[in-house]
Structures are given as structure tokens and as C-alpha cells.
Amino acid sequence: MSVVHDGAGSTRRLADGSVEEAGWIDVEGERVFQVTRVPSGDVTAWVLLCSAVGGEHDGGYRRQTMLARQLVAAGVATRRFHYRGTGNSHLHTTATRETMVADAVTAGRTLAERFPSARGVVLGERVGALVAAEAARALGARDLVLWHPVCDIEAYRRELSRAAKLQKVTSGIEAAGDAGAADFAATYEAGEGDLIGFSVPRALIESFADRPLVDSHPGADCAVHLVQFGRNRLDPRFERLADAWRQAGSTVEAHLLDEPELWWFAPGPWKRGEELRPVTVAALALTVPLVERIADGAAVAP
Amino acid sequence: MSPATIPVADEAVRWIEAGDETVLGVVTRPTTAPRGTGVVFLNGGHGGSSSGKNRIYTRMAAALADLGFHSVRLEWRGIGDSTGAVDEYVMDEPFVEEALGAAQLLRDEGCGRIAVYGECFGARTAVVAAPQLPDLEAMYLVTLVLRDGALSEQNPQRLLDELPAREFVKRLGKLRHIGDARRRRLYVDVARNKARQVVQKARYRREGHRELAPWVGRQVVTGLEHLGARGVPVHLVYGDSYWDPHRYDFEAVAADLAPLRHDTTTWQVLPEMIAGYRTLPVQDHLVALVAEWFDRAVPADG
């Protein structure tokens, strides 16, 4: 693995023999923070985790860690990473579609090169799904798992706007006369939306403007596993996406989780350990066996 | 300065063994002549990964690196890439071992002096850990929570403050819904807190803190007293938002809190939503304030 910026001390070996490696990979001369979990035995599949951004990233990151730690027992290597301009990755970059896809493809490519006989899986959460679909195609991944994907960036921007208003109401900021609170719409128009302290760069949103998820078909050889959080009926947006990709030659399985996610509000109102959140328990109970089945398939017919 | 010419701090990931857990730390090294001082960032409970909300600690680390400081930002157990699981963060059960492990990491980097930035649960941990940090030079504490217990217990505590012991006992005899398990748990919590306050009040009187409210955690009193007696510069910061109860708690007892009378202890209430880093301008302001304060409090020439 091409860990740069002093990898010494960044690897830890666990009691089960697996290894967790944390560090940075180089993308276009800038650094991308990543953590890779490698099983002790044969690696049957690798999973690249493309996270959401902002509050959705903070809410979902622990879930990714838990997923990685559960999958290692099935011989699955995983890599999670922070896009440049976010988290512990390069500071002086504004994340856009181009940089996020480049980060994902580089992170996935080094993983694929390291485990050439393993089956490649890319998982994308929310906005990360837009990145994951493009990365899956570039990497020739055999499976794409989408956790409640953002299908269209403009709809997502409207969701953020509603989330900002709702947060003001639920936290009581609005009742207090809005003193000191940021106006999401105004700050977004000015170039950087302020969603209760999370940055939503206009450049990021606009970079996905002409690229709805349906246009990023991962390739006919790539099986798609779509996971919807909450509701007992598939969202019409997801139905349209699944239909379009089936017509393009992919198999698309849809999975419904009973538990809804709070997305931009998570883990805010919960205030408890992620391990206890019903939605996380449900998401892992569905995804771990799903990836294990994919890995088993790879072992039988590589 | 264009992004291409901004000096980028050298960083390293380290796994820190703390008790039964292994927590992740990101070390940032200075971009200018090192001062030999390292700053430990101690996050609030459930405050996101090592980079903090909207990467505020990544930015603080970069600003301090430009001034010659080392720093380390942590992920508490149960958060991000660290091991363990945490249900609720209890103020009077701080994670001292993890803070001490982070400080040791900085000593291993060659730092002879340690400084601490702590927010909420991190601020409490910093105050409790201080006696075990012989090389401590300065402490910046944002939203230091004065009350004990988990945050979820604190609003019931505040209600109790309004109720004299005699009234409380009288009402105990009229408990309704005592058959309901959840209510019963609440009553037990309330009674436990009241008993704790009665004991604490007697103890504070015995120790000469006659006027001090009994809900102020003993760890806070002894920790701040210890820091003042050692002459360690301590700066407490609270925000001015109506919904931030910790600031009201602080203002209610500041005059009676004897350790605040030490010359090296200062505090301020900023007219901004500091708790939870609720807007982007607040974060930018805080990054600048913290860099300025540590620059003054721990001069380069020692």
C-alpha cells in the first residue's frame, strides 16, 4: 500500500491476525486519509467505502468502521477514506465531483492491485453513491452497493435546505429569534452553504449538476444492490434508477430497511453509542451477509 | 497565497493503547521552527472523528503547525476508527488514559511541553488529567461542563436545583405513575442526584466553599484549583446562545468558584454559538482565537 507521510506506527495487528492500516495515499500530489482493514488469510473480496459528506459523513463514519470490522472475518478487505477537502485529508482543496471520483478511483485501484484475485465491491452512501457508481465503472468492480443514494444533486440541495430549516426549529434556534444562526440559502448563494456548522460548498453541489446517478451506470457486468433506509415501499426515484440500469444490462436488487436514518441530523438527537442505533444494527445485519455472499461467490467462481 | 504555495504540515497516524482500547490519533508536525510544545485536542463526546465537526481540529492543527506547535487529535473510544463502544459520555467518568496516551505521543515526537485544548467532555477530561501531566504548560477549555453525569441527566438536575430539599421530600410522598418502569427509573435518577447534591453541599461547606452550588462537580473544583496553584494558564470559553445551558451554569457560579480567582485563570463569554460549533464563522473565529492564545500562553522561547 502506498502510505505516504510517515506510515511508521500507523499499522496495528489484531488478535484475529487481521491488520488495520491507517495513513494517507497520494492523489494528484495531495493526500487522502484512508484506513484499510486486511484479513489474516486469503482475501476473497475487497470493498471500497465511499462515504457521504458533511453531517451525513459524521453520522455514518462509525457505521463504516463497524462494517469493515465485521467483514474481515469473512475474508473481505475494506478501505474507507476521507475525500480531499474533508476530514483528515488534504486541507486546501474544495471537494468536487472530479476530486472525489479521483480519490475513490485511486483508493480503489491500489486496493485492486494489492488483491488482484479478489472480487471488487464499491459501496456508496448518499452523495458517496454518485462517486461510487463512477468509481465502480473505472475500477471494473463486480458489485456496487448503494446505501440510500442521492439520485439527483438538485433534489439533494433542496433536502439540505429543508434540513437547515428543520434543524433551526428542532434545536430552538428559530424560536430564539435566529440570533447568530446562519442562513443556509444565503450562504449557499454566496458560495459556501452553512448547514448548522457544516460546510456545503456550492462548487461541490454544482459539480454534480449534470451528472444524475442514472447516467453513471457502472457497467453491465456490475451487479447493483440498492439499500433504502426506512419506508416499506421502494422510493419512485430508486424504482426509476433500478429500471434504467436493468435496461442497461445490470442486475439490480433492491433491499428495504425498516429503520429510517436521520441523515443530516444523525447522530444529533440520538446522543448514544452508534453500536446501539437501530438503523445501524439493521444496515449491518443486511449488508454484512450481502457482502459475504458476494465474497463466497468469488471464492467459488473467481 | 495560492493553494500550491501553502506549506502543508507533515502528519502521521498513531494507534494509542489506552487501557483495553486502542484509539486513533493524528499527529501534526510544525511547518516552521518547532517550539517543542505539543497541543492535545480533546473532542466533545460524540463530537465526530479526529478531524472534529467540519474538520475544525484539522484546521486548528494546521494553524498551530504554522506557529511551530506539534499537535495530536484523537478519536475517543467508540468513535470513528477507535475500538470500543460508548453508550453515553458521563462527565465525571472522563477518559483520562486516552488523554495521557496522546500527551505521551507528543513527548515521543520530541515535545518537552504539553498544552491541551478541550471541548465539553474533552474539557472535563483535560481538567481531571492535569495533575498527571507534569509538563503541562497551558489549557484552553471550551464549554467546560460543570455538572456531573451524562448530558441527558443534566436537565433533570437543573429542575432539581429549583426545589429545596424539604419540598423534594414532601413530593416524594406523592409520586404518581410509580408503577411505570421508565418513570421509576427517572424518580431513582432524580433521588440519586438530590442525594448527591446534599452530600456535596455539606462537603463544600466543610472545605470553605460555603456559597458554591452543590451541583458543581468536585472534579472541576479540584482540577481548576490544582491548575491555578501550579500557575498553569487556563482559559475558559463559553458561547452566548440561549440554548447553551453550560454557559448559564458557569455564570451562575463564577463568582463563588474560588479557583477562578487565580491570576493565571481567565474566561470569556463570546457572543457566538460556540457550543457544538454551530456556524462556519464561529469555527473560523475559534481557530484564530486558539492559535493566538496558545501563541501567547506558550511562547516560542519557553
- B51/A contact by beta carbon, under 8 A: yes
Spell out which residues of chain A touch residue B14, defining contact as CB-CB under 8 Å.
9-10
Q: State the count of interchain CB pairs (< 8 A) between A and B.
A: 133
Q: Among candidates B64, B22, B55, B24, which has minimal Cα distance to A88?
A: B55
Cα A270 to Cα A278: distance, rounded to the nearest angstrom: 11
Tell whether B59 lies on the interface with A, counting CB pairs under 8 A: yes
A199 vs B24, B85, B280: nearest CB:
B280
| B246 Cα distance to chain centroid | 12
Q: What is the dihedral of CA B133, B136, B138, B139, to 10 degrees?
A: -10
Provide the β-strand partners of residue B130.
none
pLDDT value of position B3: 39
At A9 the pLDDT is 59
Query: What span, in angstroms and rounded, lies between the C-alpha atoms of B280 and B147?
Result: 28
CA-based nearest residue in chain B for residue A30? B8
Return phi, psi of residue B204, to 5°.
-60, -35
Q: What is the rounded distance in angstroms from the CA atom of residue B213 to the CA atom of residue A253?
A: 60
Phi-psi region of B80 (alpha: psi -120 to 50; beta: other; left: phi over 0): left
- Contacts of residue A192 in chain B, CB cutoff 8 Å? 280
CB-based contact A105:A27 (threshold 8 Å): no
Vertex B121, ends B120 and B127: CA angle to 5°? 90
CB contact under 8 A, B79 and A62: yes
Contact check, Cβ <8 Å, A271/B46 = yes
What residues in A contact B80, CB-CB < 8 Å? 61-62, 65
Strand pairing category for A30-38 and A19-27: antiparallel
Q: Where residue A221 falls among pLDDT bands split at 50, 70, 90? A: very high
Residue A26: Cβ within 10 Å count: 15
- Chain A residues in contact with B277 by the CB 8 A cut-off are 197
Contact in structure between A143 and A121 (CB atoms under 8 Å): yes
Cis geometry, peptide bond prior to residue B299 (ω within 30 degrees of 0): no
Q: Do B279 and A171 touch (CB under 8 A)?
A: no
Residues of A in contact with B3 (CB under 8 A): 92-93
Classify strands B70-74 and B37-42 as parallel, antiparallel or unpaired. Answer: parallel
Contacts of B49 in chain A (CB under 8 A): 58, 61, 87-88
b/e for A189-227, b at 16 or more Cβ within 10 A? eeebbbbbbbbbbbebbebbeebbbbebbbbeebbbbbb
User: Hey, are the CB atoms on B24 and A22 less than 8 Å from each other?
Assistant: yes
B33 Cβ partners below 8 Å, 6+ apart? Answer: B68, B300
**Average pLDDT of the residues in A215-232:** 95
**Residue A124 in contact with partner chain B when CB distance is under 8 A:** no
201-240 of B, contacting A, C-beta below 8 A:
240
**Which residue in B22, B51, B88 is closest to A12 by CB distance?**
B22
Q: Do B277 and A272 touch (CB under 8 A)?
A: no
Contact A81, A107 (CB under 8 A): yes
Residue A299 has pLDDT above 60, yes or no: no
Buried b (16+ CB within 10 A) or exposed e, B168-206: eeeeeeeeeeeeeeeeeeeeebbeebbebbeebbeebee
Q: What percent of chain A has pLDDT over 70?
A: 89
CA A268 from chain centre, in angstroms, equals 19
Per-residue pLDDT of chain B (302 residues; tens, 9 = 90+): 333 455 677 999 999 999 889 999 999 999 999 999 999 999 987 667 899 999 999 999 999 999 999 999 999 998 889 998 888 889 999 999 999 999 999 999 999 999 999 999 999 999 999 999 999 999 999 999 999 988 777 777 777 777 776 776 777 666 666 777 877 777 787 778 788 888 988 999 998 888 899 999 999 999 999 999 999 999 999 998 766 788 989 999 999 999 999 999 999 999 888 888 888 999 999 999 999 999 999 998 66
pLDDT tens-digit map of A25-57: 999 999 999 999 999 999 999 999 999 999 898
CA-nearest residue to A60 within chain B is B80
Model-level pTM?
0.91
Helix (H, G, I), strand (E, B) or coil at A125: strand
| Residue B292, pLDDT score | 98
**Left, alpha or beta for A256 (phi > 0: left; psi -120 to 50: alpha)?**
beta
Average pLDDT over chain A, rounded to whole? 89
pLDDT for A6 beyond 70: no
